[in-house]
Structure 1
Amino acid sequence: MRLSDFTEVFRRMPQLLLLGMALQYTVMPGLGWALSRRVTLDDGYAGLAAPLAVGIAVLSACPGGTASNIVAFLARGEMALSILMTAASTLAAVVATPAITAALAGTLVPVDAKGLFVSTMQVVLLPVLSGCLANQAFPSAVARISRFTPAIATLLVAAIVGSTLAASAGAVRGCGPALLGAVAALHASGFLLGYVISRAFGLSPKICRTMSIENSTLGAVLAALHFPDPLTAAPCAISACTHSVMGSMLAAYWQRSSAGEEGPAAGSAAVAAPKAA
């Protein structure tokens, strides 16, 4: 992306962008708080409750990720909005993710908010700014390199998820149903509330589909770096798999049910001049 992309979104669709970020950083943390409390109150997993709950809190505090853009495309969502929402929520994560994580998980375990802030800057802000500046200064070179970056990013995400699950494999087997159920509930509730709240604002089904689909792998990185128990990162790793399965199923349904909607050009025009936000 170029630096001009960020200024363009504020010019063309500020209401939708702000609504998407508000949903990302209020609905998901609220769901994460409720689910983490449910896990800590479950006596059957008393020894695993705290790290599981912290992992769910970290997961719910993270921004949208690039996998959500793919699901939005398959679901016939508004791609321009999806990409820009991911970019904006990623930049906001530098402050929002450490603050929300500290608020949600600070009562369970000690949370190094400053360390989370520094790591989020290193993982999120520095790569984004470096990429934007490189694209601005060396567009031809970046265009050549960008042909390979999606495959590299996919391999890196797979490595992060795989190593996280491997490190906590024994504990995950011991609490599999509780962990999978909590992560699935977080995503299912996020999909539903994101769509319903967007519809309540009078937005089109295409925009609502886009608003409801968000995910992130950042949580696995932060959990692995700042929490000693390897199980803390497990919900984030499970989330990558769960979101892909649930998102693909929703995308297939929406793709069939939205076959008669406007094409990409019309959808882009609708975003440029939204009826309600």
Structure 2
Amino acid sequence: MLENADAIQDAVIKMDPSVQKLLSVSLAFTMLTVALGLKPEDFRFIKEHPQSVVIGSLAQLLALPVVTLGLIYLITPEAGIALGMLIAAACPGGTISNLLTRIAGGDAAYSVSLTMVSSIFSTAALPFAILFWTGLYGPTSTLLDTINIDRVEFIIGTSITLLIPLALGLTISHHKPALAAKMNRYFLPVAIGILVFLIVSGLVNNSDLILKYGSTIYPIVIGHNALAFLVGFSIGKFTLKSVRKVRALTFEVGIQNTGLGLLIVLTQMGGVGSTALIVGTWSIWHLFAGFLLASSFRLSDRINAAKHQAAE
């Protein structure tokens, strides 16, 4: 059992009801923005490369939660921490993975398609996935009962908040692609700004919790995120022939839309402090780790190119 387990489990982030409603609106706005960014060519890639898309989607939507559950049983964290780990693993891929894939010299089209599939599927299935995976670890299931989570209300509320804006965005993107592109150009910075503000302000306002429990939180987040990158890389290495696709899958599994997960924790999960700290810390750490990994791939390519040139 981890150090500070009892104390961190009691930490709760309190929010004014008006702030909670604003966060729900922000969650809906984020999903609308994600949907507006989807393009017809993303769907064509899926039709042309169905096997690699299925492999990538299973790695992200199934393998990562399974491995996360195995890690939880190995280290036996307290319930709130385990809940945060499972929520992070269940979240869809983050769009920053597309940028990191480009930096790393990966297959950008494959990355975008996987992000699209996970965004659409996870949006519809996310509340069910969270309840399913948390139900497989006794302490997290008990925690949801303790904080009086109405599972039916959670499914309905989260689904409505996620699905309606997603459907609206997909409709606009399909019938009015020019309008969708224009809206996305303006909406995306706002959506990113909202998430950045939420994460930064949350970390600042709860700096006492971070300082007090950082020694417990940081190793778990860093190790869990490293494992996520490893899952994507390993599955890609054994199933995909293209090095560029392997790199894309590495970032798709390692970079999760934990900003979405944090909004769900704050609006639907009672603001459990340890859960919010895990998901919020992941939201920052995976960007740092992702850029380091992408830079290392790029550096490796330059070194290999230099060796090849020298050998000629």
When normalised by structure 1's length, the TM-score is: 0.81
- Measured in 2, the distance between the counterparts of 1:195 and 1:103 equals 26
- Measured in 2, the distance between the counterparts of 1:197 and 1:140 equals 37
Letter in structure 2 aligned against 1:175: Y
Contact in 1 for aligned 2:127/2:155 (Cα 8 Å): yes
Letter in structure 2 aligned against 1:28: L
- 188-197 or 102-111: which moved more? 102-111
Q: Do the aligned partners of residues 72 and 243 (structure 1) sit closer, same or farther apart at CA in structure 2, a change above 3 Å counting?
A: same
Report which of the two has the higher share of helix: 2
Out of 251, 254, 268, the residue aligned to residue 226 of structure 1 is: 268
- Measured in 2, the distance between the counterparts of 1:200 and 1:165 equals 39
**Structure 2 equivalent of residue 176 of structure 1:** 214
- 24-33 or 190-199: which moved more? 24-33
Letter in structure 2 aligned against 1:63: P
Residue 9 (structure 1) shift: 3.3
- 1:138-161: CA deviations, max 9, x gaps? 444433333323321220110221
**Structure 1 equivalent of residue 6 of structure 2:** none
What is the 5 A alignment of 1:175-214?
175-213=213-251, 214=255
- Measured in 1, the distance between the counterparts of 2:100 and 2:265 equals 25
- Measured in 2, the distance between the counterparts of 1:194 and 1:186 equals 13
Letter in structure 1 aligned against 2:163: L
Contact in 1 for aligned 2:230/2:250 (Cα 8 Å): yes
- 1:138-185: CA deviations, max 9, x gaps? 444433333323321220110221243345433322221221111111
**Structure 2 equivalent of residue 8 of structure 1:** 44
Letter in structure 1 aligned against 2:226: A
Q: Do the aligned partners of residues 54 and 202 (structure 1) sit closer, same or farther apart at CA in structure 2, a change above 3 Å counting?
A: closer
**Structure 2 equivalent of residue 131 of structure 1:** 169
The Cα RMSD (Å) is: 2.6
Contact in 2 for aligned 1:94/1:117 (Cα 8 Å): no
Out of 293, 296, 310, the residue aligned to residue 253 of structure 1 is: 296
Matched residue count: 255
- 155-164 or 202-211: which moved more? 155-164
DSSP-derived class of the 2:93 partner: coil
Q: Do the aligned partners of residues 23 and 113 (structure 1) sit closer, same or farther apart at CA in structure 2, a change above 3 Å counting?
A: farther
Contact in 1 for aligned 2:236/2:249 (Cα 8 Å): yes
Q: Do the aligned partners of residues 117 and 74 (structure 1) sit closer, same or farther apart at CA in structure 2, a change above 3 Å counting?
A: farther
- 1:216-265: CA deviations, max 9, x gaps? 1221111112222233221111111110111000100111223499xxxx
Contact in 2 for aligned 1:29/1:61 (Cα 8 Å): yes
Letter in structure 2 aligned against 1:71: L
Residue 38 (structure 1) shift: 4.9
Contact in 2 for aligned 1:56/1:235 (Cα 8 Å): yes
Q: Do the aligned partners of residues 31 and 173 (structure 1) sit closer, same or farther apart at CA in structure 2, a change above 3 Å counting?
A: farther
DSSP-derived class of the 2:185 partner: coil
For the pair 1:92 / 2:130, whether they are aligned, the reply is no
- Measured in 2, the distance between the counterparts of 1:119 and 1:167 equals 27
For the pair 1:83 / 2:126, whether they are aligned, the reply is no
- Measured in 1, the distance between the counterparts of 2:73 and 2:204 equals 26
Q: Do the aligned partners of residues 147 and 39 (structure 1) sit closer, same or farther apart at CA in structure 2, a change above 3 Å counting?
A: same
DSSP-derived class of the 1:147 partner: helix
Unaligned runs of 5+ residues in structure 1 are 42-48, 262-277
Unaligned runs of 5+ residues in structure 2 are 1-36, 305-312
**Structure 1 equivalent of residue 91 of structure 2:** 62
Out of 72, 81, 97, the residue aligned to residue 101 of structure 2 is: 72
When normalised by structure 2's length, the TM-score is: 0.73
What is the 5 A alignment of 1:260-275?
none
Residue 112 (structure 1) shift: 4.2
